[in-house]
């Protein structure tokens, strides 16, 4: 096998699964429960991918206290209902299976908390392909992408993986920037939620899972 990488990190939302329906529906419920106007569908889509607490601050303008209350409402609804309102992108499971069957170790690296991230992977029978599942901490103290990527690398190294040539697969600019903060290149997937402008700084852009598989495994 000829590959330029020694280990692989995978984003979840917009990369492995289309989780937008469950996330946006849960957000709409949360805004309603808070007695606030519900953003438009296109505005809600901007929340998909980045850490929620950042989006509550930057997009909704919530105070820390409002954000904490909003997160509590969101989390309860999402864990029970919204997490399962997602669709696996066709062909991505085959890429994960191929990496799993290769010598390359692989970790999830998502800004979604680890509990719902694990539930989603298990729901689609994909958790078995990962050596490590790394996400935001459930209290979201660790949620910035750069911190998630750093934690994934720490966990991979602890299991004896070669982390000298890592790569992240993602679909948003915060994936690119968070990986870059750890000197990790990003392969940007076009089937996710990111715009063309968000591809800036990635080392490659792929249109299909088959292209991704070729880049990762040669």
pLDDT tens, position by position, 193-202: 999 999 999 9
Return d(Cα 3, Cα 6) in angstroms, integer.
8
Per-residue pLDDT tens over the stretch 63-80:
999 999 999 999 999 999
Per-residue pLDDT tens over the stretch 77-93:
999 999 999 999 999 99
pLDDT classification of 141: cutoffs 50, 70, 90: confident
List of domains in the chain: 7-18+87-217 (3.40.50.1000), 20-84 (1.10.150.240)
Task: Please name the residues in contact with 81: beta carbons below 8 A apart, sequence gap of 6 or more.
Answer: 22, 26
pLDDT classification of 115: cutoffs 50, 70, 90: very high
**pTM reported for the whole predicted model:** 0.91
pLDDT classification of 126: cutoffs 50, 70, 90: very high
Half-sphere exposure of residue 35, counting CA atoms within 13 Å on the CB side?
1
């Amino acid at each position: 096998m000829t590959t330029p990488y020694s280990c692989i990190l995978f984003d979840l939302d917009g990369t492995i699964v289309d989780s937008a329906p469950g996330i946006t529906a849960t957000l709409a419920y949360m805004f309603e429960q808070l007695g606030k106007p519900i953003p438009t569908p296109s505005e809600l889509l901007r929340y998909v991918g980045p850490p929620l607490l950042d989006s509550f601050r930057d997009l909704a303008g919530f105070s820390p206290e409002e954000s904490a209350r909003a997160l509590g409402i969101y989390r309860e609804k999402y864990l029970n209902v919204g997490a399962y309102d997602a669709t696996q992108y066709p062909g991505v499971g085959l890429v994960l299976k191929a990496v799993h069957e290769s010598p390359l170790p692989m970790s999830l690296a998502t800004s979604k908390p680890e509990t719902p991230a694990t539930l989603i992977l298990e729901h689609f029978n994909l958790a078995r392909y990962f050596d490590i599942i790394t996400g935001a901490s459930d209290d979201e103290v660790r949620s910035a992408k750069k911190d998630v990527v750093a934690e994934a690398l720490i966990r991979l190294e602890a299991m004896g993986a070669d982390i000298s040539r890592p790569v992240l697969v993602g679909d948003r600019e915060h994936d690119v920037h968070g990986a870059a903060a750890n000197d990790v290149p990003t392969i940007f997937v076009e089937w996710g939620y990111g715009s063309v402008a968000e591809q800036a700084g990635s080392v490659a852009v792929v249109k299909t899972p088959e292209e991704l598989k070729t880049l990762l495994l040669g």
